[in-house]
Chains A and B, each alone.
Chain A
């Protein structure tokens, strides 16, 4: 799966589950999910669960960082990199 496909899925998931009440808000790939209150800490856990289920990757506690989960693009890049690493082993 390409990074662009993953990115689209992440954006759809976030909008459907975290932004359904904010109808006028347009989520961009590089918008911060954490700083603008799109996702709460519990929401991050839901996002992590969904990433694991949907893309079959295992997220280590140390990987739940702002670097990996702050924007839809960073999530997509993280998933892509994890999938590639799994495929390589």
Chain B
């Protein structure tokens, strides 16, 4: 896993005294420094008069020969790449047969030859998690691409704001470090966070900064970037489950895990205690020639802690297991660092434990882990899908008193010991009209939107013409009407929460904060297509989630493995800050009236009311917990990115593993002995 950055100057633009014409190596070195956590093992640069690329490397495949940037045989195409192409062995053979000469045995090289050979047909051939930039020196064009689910990030500054220049990077902080891009908030992007939990690609929380949407590639030419989609989640459920479906699932799961075990370093696994990570760990243990290393995190709070389940899974699989536990003080202590890595406000603290888990894993010298992410989206595991079915079930017999009681079975931990009764069920039934295409998600979107009650009037006025829900309704894909209600819910879940939040704030950013690469066997697109072709009842049978996966597990997993009901993953929110034995110092500094007024998002008197309720221990509901996390994280986010200058440190060119291009012999920094176009 790695980080990448680039500056590409538009040709033919009008020279301006305000904008630089050439590419400064120093800018590239500062961008690389901002991404160093993603690639602590090495770095390299390409620079000529009109284009520069930087790469920081986490060495996983071809440890000796895999340094980047990397060029093709005639040195016309140069690539920087973050991620993995799991089927690179097969693609390499195919491209060799077509006459391409490979100089390394890396997956990176597949990209340049593949682009030469197939052009825009390359992307659908890739099985992997990736973000990359290929620069064509002859044509002075660039290709950007991102994997199907958005596992790896790719941000860019809108070329229209930069005279057609393209500034691109794995994280927005590298764009700011270039010195050419100014950080400013995007109010609509923030409003999306306070609705969907994250901004929706291509939008981000920064004005003038966009992200390449998952499943898309883009061509930069003549100062403009044109985006095209090569993949989108789609559902084609069959009437009947094929007789060999469980065998097919077995083959796909094993193949998906085997591909993700490809690495020149040991691969470990996360164990959450639930079914999905048990499956990925069990198959990884099977496929590994060594005793598998597994990692898990628990909570000191016994209501949230799952360590007994995690230990039982590890014991049954015979893995070498390591665990850590966090208490409320830990969350508060690392929260500012978590926000710096996420680069967005949050509505839950849930990324924080993942940050600690990544750190634990890296301390055990494991650089790659498999996790169970994606299974709940593919196989309809979330309660939200059952809720969707239940609301429809209740709507068919609105006079029934019994049907709404099923919500209590769905959410026993929220049922207030049976005291919630009919009122509580009503909150789901009233959440939205069932005719709304977003009906499945309106309970969550409406609840999250209550954060906006805390907006300042000026923010509300500025957003008067903005309706992020209407925007989403306008972006629904063409086959929408042919899908069932739960499949629509699955599409919404995959394209909003999974891509925008789970894989990013809880995934890529927390792992790469510590130079750790996550791999997700369930997010193999072949497995997705398989799941999407099954009848809905094979995935969600009545109120039983992931039916076919459970059937597979009963047959194929060791019977000693513990079975237990699904648990939602939760972390302490307001309690992490107000319940801490030593409340963090930044709490008062960031939530007082002058600090809130400076940021200008939230109304100080409303936040004062929230703080009062948090201090007295009364803020126990979702509504106030999420508001506290939102306000606090937005304040930290603003302070880190908008309110202070970007870090100015630069990686020294002398220590680079790779220096390519005509400009790397800039008289100031470069090593006079190093030859242009050679790799160290």
Q: Which residues of A does B touch, CB under 8 Å?
A: 16-17, 20-23, 34-35, 37, 40-46, 48, 61-62, 64-66, 69
Contacts and interface: CB of A to CB of B under 8 A. Distances in A.
A69 B424 CA distance: 12
Contacts of B430: 35
Nearest to B453: A21
Nearest to A35: B430
A61 B419 contact: yes
A43 B621 CA distance: 7
Contact of A69 (B423, B450, B610, B621): B423
A37 B431 CA distance: 10
A40 B627 CA distance: 14
B486 to A, nearest CB: 24
22 contacts: A16-B609, A17-B613, A20-B606, A23-B605, A37-B446, A40-B447, A40-B621, A40-B622, A41-B414, A41-B416, A41-B423, A42-B620, A42-B622, A42-B623, A43-B621, A43-B623, A44-B423, A45-B416, A45-B420, A65-B421, A65-B422, A66-B423
Interface string B206-221: 0000000000000000
Report, nearest first, the 7 A-B pairs whose CB atoms are least far apart.
A20-B609, A42-B621, A41-B424, A21-B606, A21-B453, A41-B427, A21-B454
Nearest to A44: B423
A34 B622 contact: no
Contacts of B446: 37
Contacts of B454: 21
Main DSSP-derived SS at the B contact region: helix
B426 A64 contact: no
Contacts of A16: 609
Given A17-B618, A21-B453, A45-B416, A34 B426 contact: yes
A17 B427 CA distance: 19
B20 interface: no
A43 B426 CA distance: 14
A41 B430 CA distance: 12
B621 A21 contact: no
Given A17-B618, A61-B418, A66 B426 contact: yes
B202 to A, nearest CB: 31
Nearest to B430: A35
B450 A37 contact: yes
A36 to B, nearest CB: 10
Given A17-B618, A40-B621, A40-B622, A34 B609 contact: no
A64 B606 contact: no
Contacts of A37: 446, 450
Interface string B620-643: 111100010000000000000000
Contacts of A22: 453
B603 interface: yes
B605 A40 contact: no
Contacts of B419: 45, 48, 61, 64
Interface in B392-443: 414, 416, 418-424, 426-427, 430
Interface of B: 414, 416, 418-424, 426-427, 430, 446-447, 450, 453-454, 603, 605-606, 609-610, 613, 618, 620-623, 627
A69 B426 CA distance: 13
Nearest to A18: B623
Contacts, number: 67
Contact of A40 (B453, B610, B613, B623): B623
Main DSSP-derived SS at the A contact region: helix
A46 B420 CA distance: 11
Contact of B606 (A23, A42, A46): A23
Contacts of B427: 34, 40-41
A21 to B, nearest CB: 4
Nearest to B609: A20
Nearest to B417: A61
Contact of A65 (B423, B447, B605, B606): B423
B452 to A, nearest CB: 9
Contacts of A35: 430
A20 B427 CA distance: 21
B421 A64 contact: yes
B613 A61 contact: no
Contacts of A34: 423, 426-427
Given A35-B430, A40-B621, A21 B627 contact: yes
Which of A22, A42, A62, A64 has the most C-beta atoms of chain B within 10 angstroms of its own C-beta?
A42
A42 B418 CA distance: 12
B622 A21 contact: no
Given A21-B454, A35-B430, A66-B426, A41 B420 contact: yes
Nearest to B460: A24
A64 B605 contact: no
A46 B624 CA distance: 13
A69 to B, nearest CB: 7
Contacts of A21: 453-454, 603, 606, 609-610, 627
A83 B362 CA distance: 62
B606 to A, nearest CB: 4
Contacts of B447: 40
A61 B418 CA distance: 8
Contacts of A20: 606, 609-610, 613
Nearest to A48: B419
B620 A66 contact: no
B430 to A, nearest CB: 7
A22 B430 CA distance: 21
B443 to A, nearest CB: 11
Contacts of A69: 423
Contacts of A43: 621, 623
A40 B448 CA distance: 12
Nearest to B421: A64
A35 B430 CA distance: 8
A62 B605 CA distance: 37
Nearest to B419: A61
Which of B423, B447, B609, B618 has the most C-beta atoms of chain A within 10 angstroms of its own C-beta?
B423
A80 B93 CA distance: 83
A17 B424 CA distance: 19
A62 to B, nearest CB: 8
A46 B427 CA distance: 16
Nearest to A34: B423
Nearest to A43: B621
B627 A66 contact: no
Nearest to A68: B423
A76 to B, nearest CB: 18
Which of B419, B420, B627 has the most C-beta atoms of chain A within 10 angstroms of its own C-beta?
B419
B460 to A, nearest CB: 10
Contacts of B421: 61-62, 64-65
Contacts of A45: 416, 419-420
A48 B426 CA distance: 17
Nearest to B427: A41
Contacts of B606: 20-21, 23
Nearest to A24: B457
Contacts of B610: 20-21
